[in-house]
Chain A
Amino acid sequence: MTNNPYLPFASEILDVIKHTEKEYTFRMAFKGDVKPGQFFEVSIPKYGEAPISVSGIGDGSVDLTIRKVGRVTNEVFERYKGQSLLLRGPYGNGFDVDLYRNGEVVVVAGGTGVSPVRGVIQALSQMPDAMDKYVIAGFKSPSDMLFRDDLKEWEKKLKLTLTVDGAPEGYTGNIGLVTKFIEGLPLKNPAEAKAVVVGPPPMMKFTIIELKKKGFKDSNITVSHERKMCCGLGKCGHCRVNDTYICLDGPVFNYEFAKNFVD
């Protein structure tokens, strides 16, 4: 068959960056157009496929941050630098970074939800008005933090709030859910500010409630949804919500539209 969209290609593991016991970033060889927020179907023959968000884009590479939680990802963690994984993609629409170029922006991300927005945050940190860009990143505990080197870098360039849900005694950083830090954001004009929210469904729900209390307009909020995307091509049906296919029409949506989603 010519142009079989299900046929994966082998991609070399260029590097493996360990964040936690269970979360590694695999830097994969890839040449082609790709945007933050898009995803690849990553597979290991005989084990299966799993949809994984792009967490970084390099020259000739893409980063895939993978949590070891299932049959496929357990097997991925048995692969090392120099070996390869099978990929197909990228799929989905991804983030349009240009939307956030001017004015105040707040990115709220929880846990592995930081992966799909990492590229957005990197772009924000390079913008001339980076000091008007806010990032609230939340993790379960200090040992669950991802992208530690990035966090240090971002802290210097934009307004980063790093928080954990809970921590052992003696931890000096912020403790509390991401939602706790929205009210206190020193925004000049919340009605015109833009927000990006990515994380587990309850975190997204309560974050948006807080943002709206703060004065954000629905149409200024962007969300990215995670579903079980088996094919990435609009065929398998698993990611459908109402008349929307997350893999084709998303996973990145304007909240004005996505607020009507009911699973």
Chain B
Amino acid sequence: MGYVLSRDTFASLISDLSQNYRIFAPVRKKGAGRFTDVDVVMYDNVSNAEAIELEAKSDYSSKEFITPLSETLFYFTENEVKESDIDNRPILVFGRSCDIHSLKRLDQIYLDNGLAKDPFYKRRRDLVKYVLIGCSHSFENCFCVSMESNKCDDGYVFSVDLADGNVYSDVPDPAFDSYFAKYSKDKRDVVPKYVTENEVKVSVTDSVPHSIISHTLWDEYTTRCINCGRCNYVCPTCTCYTMQDVFYTDNGKVGERRRVGASCMVDGYTDVAGGGQYRRKNGERMRFKVLHKISDFKKRFGYQMCVGCGRCDDICPEYISFSNIINKVSQASKEAE
């Protein structure tokens, strides 16, 4: 079932929903970007519709709410180990089709890789419902069509599309019908907008030959990449983390165990006790990351990891293009045959 709302009634709907849900949405932070007078669009808690950035692509992904960059797992006091608590109120997350597709990848690792389900992930995941922000046009660096994540058939409770001053929503989850029935001025079928073509296109090869690993195409990145790891932090499908213990400086008997986001591009990722390290060169790290996104993950789980959101390209300070690398790998794979 679909509904049409004015911007004003949509605002009322959001403030109504914020009574029962924590709402986590892209927010434009004025002048907080990487350069003077540049904004950044990142996720934050919102309680009113005006705060939600529905037009621009967010620079950071929505994963931060389910997999926080730093999360306390346990508190230590003397000999006692206590699990951390979280806010148990349900959460609505606003995301685009690529973000909703990326959830399946997060679930794959945290819930379905190995026998153990990650309880710290699951307790947040179970609270989350997604709101789909429709894409009326493709953004810079997006290649979701090539990665088949441009369209969402399910996985959202309602959608939001702005057009002619109104808000159009498809509401597949009946639990939200009552909210919309209260504020909507018109009831009709709504199909969330999605893009059918991106300016950037990639061809992902089904079989990347083993010889690609030692191909010279990676050498360029040994010098160009500065291993800052931003690509990993903005990526909606990167899940790696590192365990980290801390103790409080004012009382050394008390402390906590956290997990913090890890990047396969950054030094220390592979360090083993005694100084051993794998993949010293940035080109090798780039190869490790790229082949995970477009080949190794698929070999293990049967579908591509990369969703084509292009955020890694948006954020890279060295203007390295991930989509370009995918095409280089495909070309080199063809030549290797």
Contacts and interface: CB of A to CB of B under 8 A. Distances in A.
Interface of A: 1, 3-8, 10, 43-50, 67, 69-70, 73, 86, 200-201, 226-228, 230-231, 233-238, 240, 242-243, 245, 247-248, 260, 262-263
A45 B243 contact: no
Contacts of B243: 48-49, 230-231, 236
Given A1-B123, A49-B245, A69-B273, A235 B278 contact: no
Contact of B270 (A7, A8, A238, A262): A238
B76 A238 contact: no
Contact of A236 (B214, B240, B284, B300): B240
Contact of B273 (A45, A73, A236, A237): A73
A235 B262 contact: no
B83 A243 contact: no
Contact of B245 (A47, A67, A69, A262): A47
Contacts, number: 125
B336 interface: no
A67 B274 contact: yes
A109 to B, nearest CB: 16
12 contacts: A48-B257, A67-B274, A70-B274, A227-B270, A235-B113, A236-B241, A236-B242, A237-B241, A237-B262, A238-B240, A262-B210, A263-B284
Contacts of A4: 83, 119
B255 A46 contact: yes
Contacts of B123: 1
B269 interface: yes
Given A233-B118, A236-B262, A48 B272 contact: no
Contacts of A44: 245
Interface residues of B, number: 53
A45 B81 contact: yes
A1 B119 contact: yes
Given A233-B114, A240-B292, A6 B271 contact: no
**What is the interface of chain A mostly: helix, strand, loop, or mixed?**
loop
Nearest to A234: B114
Nearest to B287: A262
B236 to A, nearest CB: 15
A8 B81 CA distance: 9
Contact of B300 (A6, A48, A73, A243): A243
B276 to A, nearest CB: 7
